[in-house]
Amino acid sequence: MNNDQTARSGRTSPKTIATVVALPLALLAGFGFFQAMRPPTEPAPAPSTAAGPQVMPTTPVTMAAPALNERQATVCRALLSQLPDQVRDLPRREVTAGHEQNAAYGEPALTVACGGPTPSYPPTDDVYTLDGVCWHKGGGAWTTVDREVPVRVTVPAEHNEQLLINFSKTLIATVPHAERIPVGCGNRA
């Protein structure tokens, strides 16, 4: 009996039954394989809460430039020449005075001021050794207390104070240790 005769007699051939069963199973297996091998889709980016790109002022950051002795001027020039052009997402900006001793980053400006008088603070105040540099926090700024020439970094509240650590390696490489290291400062770096 051929297929035409099977169809006419009302009986379904085993080939037809096998095809009817195998075709959907093959399609399901193919779809499953495709889903398993497909690269994962990345979630859509979350909508930004920022008001858009930040506009960086083109005006220089106002900074004082106290007189430096010859040694301080040499050390500060070495430090400033090695500071990065950007600290995380904060680009370096021009300053109004003391280009050989001052630097500024971002808006509101994070500032770095090298030189000036040795900082004084009560002996009961805490000092913090961060990445090999000993700092005192006071007067709205962090000031090195274990370096031959003091360096003062002001970190505005809008920025994370951890940005301070970005200057440690440069300070260690360019600003020698002070002769006397204050109590509470960690190991010499």
- Tokens describing residue 5: 């005769």
Q: Which amino acid, residue 65?
A: A
DSSP assignment of 31-79: HHHHHHHSPPPPPPPPPP-S-SSPPPP-SPBP-------HHHHHHHHHH
DSSP-assigned letter for residue 95: B
pTM over 0.75: no
Could you tell me the CA-to-CA distances from 101 to 10, 36, 51, 72, 75 in Å, in that order? Answer: 100, 60, 34, 9, 9
> What is the pLDDT, as a whole number, of residue 48?
45
pLDDT digits (tens, 9 = 90+) for 15-63: 777 777 777 777 777 666 666 666 666 555 554 444 445 677 889 999 9
State phi, psi for 93 to the nearest 5 degrees: -125, 160
| Cα radius of gyration (the chain) | 34
Report the candidate in 138, 126, 119, 121 with the shortest Cα–Cα distance to residue 184.
Answer: 126
pLDDT digits (tens, 9 = 90+) for 123-172: 889 999 999 999 999 988 999 999 999 999 999 989 888 999 999 999 99
- What whole-number distance in Å separates Cα of residue 185 and Cα of residue 59? 38
Contact criterion met (CB below 8 Å) for 127 and 134: yes
> What is the pLDDT, as a whole number, of residue 13?
79
pLDDT tops 70 at residue 105? yes
> What is the pLDDT, as a whole number, of residue 182?
87
